[in-house]
Amino acid sequence: MTAIIRSTRLTVAAGLLAASGSPLAAQNQPDYAGAMKHEHGKETPTASAGALIAPRVDVVGETVTYATINGTAIRGYLAKPAAGAATGKTVIVVHEWWGLNDNMQAMARRYAGEGYTVLAVDLFGSVATTPDAAMKLYQAGMADIAGGEKNLGEAIAYLKKAGATSIGAVGYCYGGHWALRTGLVGGEDLDAVVMYYGAPITDTKEISRLKAPVLGIFGGKDTGIPITAVRQMETAIKAAGVPVTITVYENANHAFANPSGQAYDKTAAEDAFAKTVSFFKANLK
């Protein structure tokens, strides 16, 4: 069943979507880099209020190497409850367009505080401190779908080898798109996907790889992610026989729940986090 909170039509100028001039992503969808530059162009990657919320229980975290790709060690951040909680229920967190910075690590700890082993992956290999640098990382990542998917596949394998009994994925902005791709890569190995205002995937062949239920969270005032594309994605997921819930916060902007930046909307973000935790609780066993 698809739950829909009243949505607002979003319009994005074609020139804005093409502003970055980078190649189209492999799935033949628009390049959203220019739109994201518009959304984040005046922001700095300082911690949002969401990144400052302490985990509900004590957690521990460390940098780990979860993959080696083409001879390069890929490092992420692993967080889990300090004691007393089962850790076989796992979550992959995918960073926003700033990269795997301290704020994303704080968000990983917050999810760990809900009783999960959490691996925050690194799809960039570096962290951006300016919108221009972030856009270049975004463009490079979206131009190398195969490389990003290999990275995520290794993350899944790492968690399974470590004893994962179930795996979920969640990501913000850039990471929202790649959280959904984690579901495509993982197939039957993924149990839940939450994408926060990421670039939609609408290609039915791509979506046919998806097996995990999806929770999509979007802002009604987001001018970077067209609601028409979100609805096309929703239709494709439903056609694949996969449960999907799309929630649109009518008065929220893009990045309203991001760990970094100045767009944080406390009311919408806290409600979305509660929905995310409930979704994981229902699907991660």
Residue-wise pLDDT for 168-214, tens only, equals 999 999 999 999 999 999 999 999 999 999 999 999 999 999 999 99
Closest CA to 257 of 51, 89, 6: 51
Structure tokens at 248: 């649109």
Neighbours of 18 (CB within 10 A): 15
What is the per-residue pLDDT for 8?
30
| Measured CA distances, 242 to 2, 224, 233, 234, 245 (Å) | 10, 26, 12, 10, 10
CA distance 94 to 98: 11
User: Please, how many CA atoms are within 13 Å of residue 194, restricted to the half-sphere of its CB?
Assistant: 29
Contacts of 267 (CB under 8 A, 6+ apart): none
Residue at 254 is within a domain: yes
Mean pLDDT, rounded, for 228-254: 97
Residue at 54 is within a domain: yes
Kindly give the residue spans of alpha helices, DSSP state H, lying in the chain.
14-17, 33-40, 102-112, 131-142, 145-161, 174-186, 204-207, 227-239, 266-283
Closest CA to 19 of 42, 37, 46: 37
Provide the edge-to-edge strand list for the sheet that holds 214-219: 59-69, 72-81, 117-121, 89-94, 166-172, 192-196, 214-219, 244-249
Least confident of 7-11, 127-131, 179-183, 216-220: 7-11
**Residue 224 is part of which domain span?**
14-283
Residue at 4 is within a domain: no
- Pairing of β 117-121 and β 72-81: antiparallel
Neighbours of 160 (CB within 10 A): 14
CA distance 173 to 225: 10
Reported as a pLDDT band with limits 50, 70 and 90, residue 274 is very high
Residue at 69 is within a domain: yes
Residue at 98 is within a domain: yes
Please tell me the total count of domains within the chain. 1
- Pairing of β 117-121 and β 166-172: unpaired
pLDDT exceeds 80 at position 10: no
- Residue 82 and residue 109 in contact, taking contact as beta carbons nearer than 8 Å: no
Structure tokens at 73: 């060690």
Mean pLDDT, rounded, for 3-17: 33
| Measured CA distances, 218 to 115, 196, 225, 243 (Å) | 25, 6, 8, 17
- Residue 80 and residue 91 in contact, taking contact as beta carbons nearer than 8 Å: no
Residues 123-170 have pLDDT tens digits of 999 999 999 999 999 999 999 999 999 999 999 999 999 999 999 999
Mean pLDDT, rounded, for 34-38: 85
Give the CATH number for residue 167: 3.40.50.1820
How large a percentage of the chain has pLDDT more than 90?
83
Residue at 94 is within a domain: yes
What average pLDDT does the structure give for the chain?
A: 89
Residues 60-111 have pLDDT tens digits of 999 999 999 999 999 999 999 998 766 799 999 999 999 999 999 999 999 9
Reported as a pLDDT band with limits 50, 70 and 90, residue 23 is very low
Residue at 5 is within a domain: no
